[in-house]
Amino acid sequence: MHSQQDPPLRFTVEAVDRETAARAGRFVTPHGEVETPAFMPVGTLATVKGLTIDQLQSARVQMVLANTYHLALRPGAEVVAQLGGLHRFMAWPKPILTDSGGFQVFSLAKLTKLNDTGVVFRSHLDGSPLELTPERAVEIQELLGADLIMCLDECPPHGLDRDRIRQAVDRTTAWAERCRRAQRRGDQALLGIVQGGTDPELRQRSAEALVGLDFPAYAVGGLSVGESPTEMYTTLDVTVPHLPAGKLRYLMGVGRPEDLVEAVCRGIDLFDCVMPTRNGRNAMAFTSAGTLRLRNRQYQLDERPLDERCACVVCERHTRAYIRHLFLVNEMLGAILVSWHNVAYYQQLLRELREAVRAGEGGEFRRLQLARWAGNS
């Protein structure tokens, strides 16, 4: 049971791979523990699109992510707080992470005005202003009540000039200090976010400044924003060594199954991405043998499950032919089933990778799995 004296996040590295920088561990929060490496489905508006809580639990999801910016607009953080906080509001009993709204500074750039004070959004719904400062971002997340909360950061798009990226790094550090000072609740772990584009020196500058603020865990942001996979991996190679070995490392907004495997082998512990559900709604299934585009005619008479190595409910019950039919007749069940499978598959992939790391075979797992995907591409 969590007591007042417990830190809001206790992370333990339990095994380190013999060949790579992969590690297996666990962290404990007020709403339970999570085995790492772990993947969080994205529940932007306090729901993982199309899936019930029971479906998430059957997929063995350990933790979900929700979004500060979107929940601040609808229904409002104060409303969620009055209804008992995010866990009670969405009936999810396990850990939750809320992002700070920093990614929306990037993704909704045309609707933002940014300066050292913070960012003002024109709501993508009705154009009304929403001001997000470091202090307000923390306040909103304290009202929502997630277990892990994020500092407000500036996420620069790929390809900006170096001076502009350095400005984003320094603003992110200044905002992190303000978030640290603004925090009031003792039962939430606040994470600092390392920025710096693909510039090794700026990544080091950002990491060292944030480590100096002694956060309970650290995130790597500003990747999967237009750079190539190779650039992402190289950036992780030069960033992760500057983060404390004994603290949780979270790579934000990534990604494809191969990206998860490569990032774990570079020392990352936690991930989130919309791909399992977004692609699921668009008839793309992720499997241990690669991706399936289920609208394709080749699946019309295919009686196999989506993935013969997957033990999820969808693969136990339904054929590729049936699921293809659902998409062709615009039945909403198709999107639900493939989203459900994809979320379960991501959980299975990281579970298998955890087990491989515990056995000291993370490097071998990476070789075999990448070869399996490549052989079926």
Q: What residues contact 132, with CB distance under 8 A and at least 6 apart? A: 68, 69, 72, 100, 101, 118, 119, 120, 121, 152
pLDDT in tens, 292-349: 999 999 999 999 999 999 999 999 999 999 999 999 999 999 999 999 999 999 999 9
pLDDT in tens, 191-240: 999 999 999 999 999 999 999 999 999 999 999 999 999 999 999 999 99
Q: Look at residue 18 in the predicted model and tell me its pLDDT.
A: 94
> What tokens were used for 16?
């380190």
**Predicted confidence band of residue 2 (pLDDT cuts 50, 70, 90):** very low
pLDDT in tens, 48-96: 999 999 999 999 999 999 999 999 999 999 999 999 999 999 999 999 9
What share of the chain in percent tops pLDDT 90? 88
**Predicted confidence band of residue 3 (pLDDT cuts 50, 70, 90):** very low
Residue 125 has pLDDT above 90, yes or no: no
In the block, tokens 């002694």 appear at 214
> What tokens were used for 306?
């989506």
User: Is 17 an active-site residue?
Assistant: no
| CA atoms within 13 A of residue 163's CA, in its CB half-sphere | 0
Which residue among 99, 147, 269, 307 is the active-site one? 99
Residue 29 has pLDDT above 70, yes or no: yes
Q: Look at residue 15 in the predicted model and tell me its pLDDT.
A: 98
User: What is the C-alpha to C-alpha distance for residues 51 and 279, in angstroms, rounded to an integer?
Assistant: 14
Which residue among 199, 259, 272, 307 is the active-site one? 272
What CATH number has the domain spanning 10-280? 3.20.20.105
Vertex 38 angle, CA 369 and 374, to 5°: 15
User: Is 272 an active-site residue?
Assistant: yes
Per-residue b/e over 62-100, b at no fewer than 16 CB within 10 Å?
A: bbbbbbbbbbbbeeebeebbeeebbbebbebebbbbbbb
Q: Look at residue 107 in the predicted model and tell me its pLDDT.
A: 78
Q: Look at residue 5 in the predicted model and tell me its pLDDT.
A: 56
Q: What is the pTM (predicted TM-score) of this model?
A: 0.96
**Predicted confidence band of residue 129 (pLDDT cuts 50, 70, 90):** confident
> What tokens were used for 317?
């019950």
